Structure 1
Amino acid sequence: MRGLLVQANGMGRGDAMKNWRLIALHTAAAACFIFLLQRYGLNASLESSLLWAFVFGGCAAGLAYSQANR
């Protein structure tokens, strides 16, 4: 019965995997962008650039997750 409801709603296992893949891609893109901006655009230290990349990646993951579950 649950399988019929899931299929009727248009959500299946493939959709969930697609969402996680897009969340990971969004996270990686944001982290790479801020790292490159900090490191080469603003001439920040490696440690500072990595810290900002980690923080922005986490924020991007949270935002992408909340948007995927709307």
Structure 2
Amino acid sequence: MAKKEEATLTHNDKTYKISELPEEARKQLLNVQAAESEIRHLQIRLAIAQTARSAYQQALIEALPK
């Protein structure tokens, strides 16, 4: 069976084993990961809104009197 590789964090060219980080550092890492996930979600929502705006603008242009 293949050996499972332990999760690490690299910062300023130094690598840390996540399992060996202090509890506060692990909590903050989870906060960073949650924030990154929310940013990705918001970027998707922004792309959807921008696409909708573009479609509405096009519909407005087509609805203007000639």
Q: State the TM-score bracket (shorter-chain normalisation).
A: 0.3 to 0.5
Q: Who wins on radius of gyration, i.e. which is larger?
A: 2
Greater helix fraction, Structure 1 or Structure 2: 1
